[in-house]
């Protein structure tokens, strides 16, 4: 069967299975989540091996940045599911007396989840957790770029789940576009803003709701009175983990003019201490030659103050600092998504804020300061998806914080309850009692009815 027919059939089967109502059963959802956790646990070794083959990601980093978050998401969903599915009682207004109002959580139906390559397990499987918890069927299309992780996820899911409920379809652009021709009840996409627009356009044809987890240039703004040592340590970790191939990595630094040299020395010190290398198992490869070439083009040899070494045969790119960078430089024209750290300076905070505001709304923003007024000014004046004060990346590890972008960095959010909500419809139902029936809304109307209705609405 060609892939077009196969895709059509898989979606059709999922739609009929959803209609059978099985996925709405709480025990079914709990069973599926437990099974998913068990499959991941039992295959941890294979998961580590596949991702190492794809881009030399170590066991430690795979656990810390992918599997641990997945386990947490599954455990949280299992713990909270009963409260999430419970119809929510809300107040009823006087006009509707006597009655009761409730919001029911309804699964959307058949969902398509499309993953990105940079954290292949987490970005593909984490959205499946709330989709299943909310009672949907799922077709997952992981990124084709890390081919070993994609093949392993397909094997593990497809061998252990019925394809009419949860199924992985592997492939790239062509297969995704074939999938997009089908009617889904929800599309959850993680990837670039450019492809996000293609997804949104395709979804619009069927009025399919979307969550778009996209990218952007996330600033890290330093002020002079920050705790330099600990702030730089956290920022360097966040920037170079996964060799900078993280959607919420600090993309560039903004610091006061007279702080730049001190800051650069501290960054160098921590890059040295962290000793990034494949031999240490604490650094990863640039995912492919295409991305390595793209990153190389962003380098301006005159502005490299640290690093800049590239080894094409092993796809190694050294952590690299560029200074002084201007907003017109090539490195500031696109999301870097690699281990290059440009440093720009500002004269005052208003100038720094304007520079960020002139660009598209970022996925994240980080502020390193001990000044609460600066912190509040940035939070209130810069629009960004989410972020942290005196830290970077770690907001993603708190599932009580909805994770998502704004503007060009995304639509919607997930993690924790926000994830469950993004795969559910809030079905509002008003239940009217029959023991009282006021005549006021019925014709024939009169002046006294008019006075009463104004009073009731007022």
Within 346-405, which residues bind ligand NAD (CB under 6 A)?
363, 405
Nearest alpha-carbon partner for 429 in 88, 82, 26 = 88
Contact flag: residue 172 with ligand NAD (CB under 6 A): yes
- Write down the catalytic residue from 66, 164, 178, 213: 213
Kindly tell me which residue out of 152, 221, 241, 247 binds ligand NAD, with binding defined by CB under 6 A: 247
Q: How many residues does the chain have?
A: 458
**Inter-residue contact 165 to 32 (CB < 8 Å):** yes
> CB of 382: closest distance to ligand NAD in angstroms?
18
Contact flag: residue 190 with ligand NAD (CB under 6 A): yes
Contact flag: residue 191 with ligand NAD (CB under 6 A): yes
Instruction: Report how far residue 333's alpha carbon sits from residue 320's, in angstroms, rounded to the nearest whole number.
Output: 17
Contact flag: residue 173 with ligand NAD (CB under 6 A): yes
Q: Which residues of 336-348 are buried (b: 16+ CB within 10 A; e: fewer)?
A: bbbbbbbbbbbee
Instruction: Calculate ∠ Cα 285-291-292, nearest 5°.
Output: 60
By the 10 Å C-beta count (0-12 exposed, 13-18 middle, 19+ buried), 2 is classed as exposed
Nearest alpha-carbon partner for 319 in 301, 341, 295 = 341
Nearest alpha-carbon partner for 161 in 9, 29, 3, 6 = 29
For 391, residues 6+ apart whose C-beta sits below 8 A from its C-beta are: 234, 238, 366
Kindly tell me which residue out of 62, 65, 110, 143 binds ligand NAD, with binding defined by CB under 6 A: 143
> CB of 124: closest distance to ligand NAD in angstroms?
9
Contact flag: residue 123 with ligand NAD (CB under 6 A): yes
Kindly tell me which residue out of 48, 55, 117, 188 binds ligand NAD, with binding defined by CB under 6 A: 117
- Write down the catalytic residue from 247, 255, 318, 335: 247
> CB of 140: closest distance to ligand NAD in angstroms?
10
Instruction: Report how far residue 296's alpha carbon sits from residue 403's, in angstroms, rounded to the nearest whole number.
Output: 31
Query: Would residue 213 show up in a list of annotated catalytic residues for this protein?
Result: yes
Shorter beta-carbon distance to ligand NAD: residue 36 or 248: 248
Nearest alpha-carbon partner for 155 in 144, 138, 169 = 169
For 124, residues 6+ apart whose C-beta sits below 8 A from its C-beta are: 113, 115, 140, 142, 143, 153
Which residue stretch of 5-13, 112-120, 254-262, 320-328 sits at the interface with ligand NAD (rule: CB under 6 A)?
A: 112-120
Shorter beta-carbon distance to ligand NAD: residue 249 or 352: 249
> CB of 215: closest distance to ligand NAD in angstroms?
2
Contact flag: residue 115 with ligand NAD (CB under 6 A): yes
Contact flag: residue 339 with ligand NAD (CB under 6 A): no
Contact flag: residue 218 with ligand NAD (CB under 6 A): no
Shorter beta-carbon distance to ligand NAD: residue 307 or 412: 412
Kindly tell me which residue out of 198, 305, 397, 401 binds ligand NAD, with binding defined by CB under 6 A: 198
Size of the site for ligand NAD (CB under 6 A): 27
Shorter beta-carbon distance to ligand NAD: residue 105 or 422: 422
Strands (E), 87-236: 88-90, 99-107, 110-114, 137-141, 166-168, 186-190, 210-213, 219-222
For 398, residues 6+ apart whose C-beta sits below 8 A from its C-beta are: none
> CB of 118: closest distance to ligand NAD in angstroms?
5
Shorter beta-carbon distance to ligand NAD: residue 135 or 209: 209
Which residue stretch of 22-30, 111-119, 267-275, 416-424 sits at the interface with ligand NAD (rule: CB under 6 A)?
A: 111-119
Which residue stretch of 130-138, 168-176, 311-319, 338-346 sits at the interface with ligand NAD (rule: CB under 6 A)?
A: 168-176
For 238, residues 6+ apart whose C-beta sits below 8 A from its C-beta are: 246, 249, 250, 366, 391, 392, 393, 394
Strands (E), 147-290: 166-168, 186-190, 210-213, 219-222, 252-256
By the 10 Å C-beta count (0-12 exposed, 13-18 middle, 19+ buried), 296 is classed as middle
Instruction: Report how far residue 234's alpha carbon sits from residue 393's, in angstroms, rounded to the nearest whole number.
Output: 9
> CB of 405: closest distance to ligand NAD in angstroms?
6
- Tell me which residue has its CB nearest to ligand NAD: 215
**Inter-residue contact 239 to 218 (CB < 8 Å):** no
Kindly tell me which residue out of 215, 244, 387, 419 binds ligand NAD, with binding defined by CB under 6 A: 215
Kindly tell me which residue out of 30, 53, 78, 195 binds ligand NAD, with binding defined by CB under 6 A: 195
CA distances from 35 to 121, 168, 451 (A): 16, 16, 61
Query: Would residue 231 show up in a list of annotated catalytic residues for this protein?
Result: no
Q: Which residues are catalytic?
A: 213, 247
Residues engaged in binding ligand NAD (CB under 6 A) = 114-118, 123, 141, 143-144, 172-173, 176-177, 190-192, 195, 198, 213-215, 247, 335, 337, 363, 405, 410
């Amino acid at each position: 069967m060609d892939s077009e027919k196969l895709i059509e059939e898989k979606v059709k089967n999922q739609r009929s299975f959803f209609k059978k109502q099985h996925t709405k059963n709480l025990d079914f959802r709990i069973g599926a989540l437990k099974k998913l956790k068990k499959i991941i646990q039992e295959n941890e070794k294979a998961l580590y091996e596949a991702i190492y083959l794809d881009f030399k990601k170590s066991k430690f980093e795979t656990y810390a940045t992918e599997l641990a978050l997945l386990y947490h998401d599954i455990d949280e969903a299992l713990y909270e599911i009963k409260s999430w599915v419970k119809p929510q009682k809300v107040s009823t207004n006087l006009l509707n007396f006597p009655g009761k109002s409730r919001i029911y959580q309804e699964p959307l139906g058949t969902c398509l989840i499309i993953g990105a390559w940079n954290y292949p397990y987490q970005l593909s499987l984490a959205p499946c957790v709330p989709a299943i918890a909310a009672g949907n069927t799922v077709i997952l299309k992981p990124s084709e770029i890390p081919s070993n992780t994609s093949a392993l996820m397909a094997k593990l899911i497809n061998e252990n789940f019925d394809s009419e409920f949860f199924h992985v379809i592997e492939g790239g652009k062509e297969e995704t576009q074939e999938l997009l021709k089908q009617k889904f009840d929800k599309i959850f996409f993680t990837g670039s803003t450019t492809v996000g627009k293609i997804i949104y356009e395709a979804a619009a044809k069927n009025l399919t709701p979307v969550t778009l987890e996209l990218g952007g240039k996330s600033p890290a703004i330093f002020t002079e009175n920050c705790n330099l040592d600990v702030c730089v340590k956290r920022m360097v970790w966040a920037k170079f983990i996964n060799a900078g191939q993280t959607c919420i990595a600090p993309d560039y630094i903004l610091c006061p003019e007279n702080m730049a040299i001190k800051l650069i020395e501290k960054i160098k010190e921590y890059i040295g201490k962290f000793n990034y290398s494949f031999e240490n198992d604490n650094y990863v490869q640039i995912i492919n030659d295409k991305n390595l070439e793209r990153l190389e083009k962003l380098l301006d040899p005159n502005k490299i103050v640290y690093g800049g070494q590239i080894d094409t045969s092993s796809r190694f790119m050294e952590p690299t600092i560029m200074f002084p960078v201007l907003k017109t430089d090539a490195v500031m024209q696109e999301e870097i998504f690699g281990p290059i750290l440009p440093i720009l300076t500002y004269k005052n905070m208003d100038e720094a804020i304007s520079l960020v505001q002139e660009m598209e709304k970022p996925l994240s923003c980080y502020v390193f300061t001990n000044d609460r007024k600066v912190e509040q000014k940035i939070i209130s004046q810069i629009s960004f998806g989410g972020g942290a004060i005196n830290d970077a990346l770690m907001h993603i590890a708190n599932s009580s914080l909805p994770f998502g972008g704004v503007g060009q960095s995304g639509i919607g959010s997930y993690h924790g309850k926000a994830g469950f909500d993004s795969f559910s419809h809030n079905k509002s139902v008003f239940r009217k009692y029959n023991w009282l029936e006021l005549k006021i809304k019925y014709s024939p109307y009169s002046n006294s009815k008019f006075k009463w209705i104004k009073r009731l609405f007022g």
